[in-house]
């Protein structure tokens, strides 16, 4: 009888480890401070910092699977991943996902070089090529400029930043987390304008299947615990210039 008992313990122990894995989907279209990739593997960045901390709080083992930007939702649909973070409901096609509470607060901005005239309003961008991300919708820009909104799509913010610095265009649409980080570490950071035109503030969340392995309520409790200890703010501070 004892042999059977210990045999079952040996079989069930690995299964319990598998059950405690939490799989994050990550878009390869993102860049620092959110992500650093090596051979399509997520190696560091804010999303990994957060994912590792969340998994630790949930007493789970984190795993990260990367996808092109347009395939992240299909990864949720097929249950290849348990959740995807740094998203908003309007960025996905399906409306039946479960959502966590706010993870990050960010600003959508128009960024520029220091030698570029200040932007008085969005309509001043009419008929100007503006750096944008492929697959992203810019609702405020579309409303303000309509057919005069000239997108210059790229696969990542890093590509757009290079275009900005090489004067392919004078303005790029980005977010404050990304651009503040570049003002901290980029080799040409002195060319970057510390003042960006703020379009809007927005919060991002994690999306989960309604009947997924990890209930949103459980994930929310873990996020709340991280916030109460100031861990998310500490993560963010690592990627910002001093004084911001």
What are 18-41's pLDDT values in tens digits? 449 999 999 987 888 999 999 889
Domain range list for the chain: 2-105+203-237, 106-201
Please report the sign of the dihedral spanned by the C-alpha atoms of residue 198, residue 200, residue 36, residue 46. positive
Domain formed by 106-201, architecture: 3-Layer(aba) Sandwich (3.40)
What is the per-residue pLDDT for 155? 85
What is the per-residue pLDDT for 10? 52
Measured at the CA of 85, the angle between CA 19 and CA 214, to 5 degrees, comes to 25
**Identical fold between 2-105+203-237 and 106-201:** yes
What is the per-residue pLDDT for 52? 98
Mean pLDDT taken over the chain:
91
What is the per-residue pLDDT for 28? 86
Structural contact between residues 179 and 191, judged by C-beta atoms closer than 8 angstroms: no
Compute the average pLDDT of residues 71-93. Answer: 93
User: With the CA atoms of 198, 129, 141 and 243 taken in that order, what torsion angle do they form, in degrees rounded to the nearest 10?
Assistant: -10
Single out the residue of 228, 242, 226 nearest to residue 46, CA to CA. 226
What are 123-155's pLDDT values in tens digits? 999 999 999 998 888 999 999 999 999 999 998
What is the per-residue pLDDT for 6? 46
H-helix or E-strand containing 13?
helix 2-19
Q: How far is CA 161 from CA 43, 154, 164, 214, in A?
A: 22, 10, 5, 37
Confidence band, pLDDT 50/70/90 cuts, at residue 3: low
What is the per-residue pLDDT for 46? 96
What is the per-residue pLDDT for 137? 85
Single out the residue of 43, 26, 37, 40 nearest to residue 80, CA to CA. 26
Q: Which tokens hold the place of 239?
A: 């990627």
What is the per-residue pLDDT for 150? 98
| Pairing mode, strands 171-175 and 129-133 | parallel
Structural contact between residues 140 and 199, judged by C-beta atoms closer than 8 angstroms: yes
What is the per-residue pLDDT for 241? 79
Over 50: is that where the pLDDT of 7 sits? no
Single out the residue of 211, 242, 185 nearest to residue 96, CA to CA. 211
Residues 6+ apart with CB under 8 A from 200: 107, 108, 140
Beta bridge partners of 132: 153
Indicate the CATH number for domain 2-105+203-237: 3.40.190.10
Over 60: is that where the pLDDT of 62 sits? yes
Confidence band, pLDDT 50/70/90 cuts, at residue 2: low
What are 214-234's pLDDT values in tens digits? 999 999 999 999 999 999 999
What are 100-129's pLDDT values in tens digits? 999 999 999 999 999 999 899 999 999 999
What are 159-216's pLDDT values in tens digits? 999 999 999 999 999 999 999 999 999 999 999 999 999 999 999 999 999 989 999 9
Is the bond preceding residue 109 a cis peptide, omega within 30 degrees? no
Measured at the CA of 196, the angle between CA 86 and CA 140, to 5 degrees, comes to 60
Q: How many residues does the chain have?
A: 244
């Amino acid at each position: 009888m004892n042999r059977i008992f210990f045999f079952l313990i040996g079989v069930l122990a690995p299964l319990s480890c598998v059950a405690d894995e939490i799989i994050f989907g990550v878009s390869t279209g993102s860049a620092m401070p959110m992500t650093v990739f090596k051979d399509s593997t997520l190696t560091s960045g804010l999303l990994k910092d957060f994912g590792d901390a969340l998994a630790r709080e949930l007493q789970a083992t984190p795993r990260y699977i990367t996808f092109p930007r347009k395939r992240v939702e299909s990864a949720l649909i097929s249950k290849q991943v348990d959740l995807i973070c740094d998203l908003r409901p309007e960025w996905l096609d399906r409306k039946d996902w479960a959502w966590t509470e706010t993870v990050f607060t960010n600003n959508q901005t128009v960024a520029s070089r220091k030698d570029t005239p200040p932007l008085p309003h969005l309509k001043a961008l009419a008929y100007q090529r503006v750096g944008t991300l492929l697959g992203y919708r810019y609702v405020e820009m579309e409303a303000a400029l309509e057919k005069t909104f000239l997108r210059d799509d790229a696969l990542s913010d890093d590509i757009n930043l290079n275009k900005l610095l090489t004067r392919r265009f004078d303005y790029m649409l980005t977010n404050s987390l990304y651009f503040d980080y570049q003002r901290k570490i980029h080799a040409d950071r002195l060319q970057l304008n510390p003042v960006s035109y703020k379009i809007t503030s927005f919060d991002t969340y994690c999306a989960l299947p309604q009947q997924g392995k990890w209930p949103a309520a459980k994930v929310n409790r873990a996020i709340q615990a991280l916030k109460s200890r100031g861990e998310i703010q500490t993560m963010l501070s690592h990627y910002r210039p001093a004084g911001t």
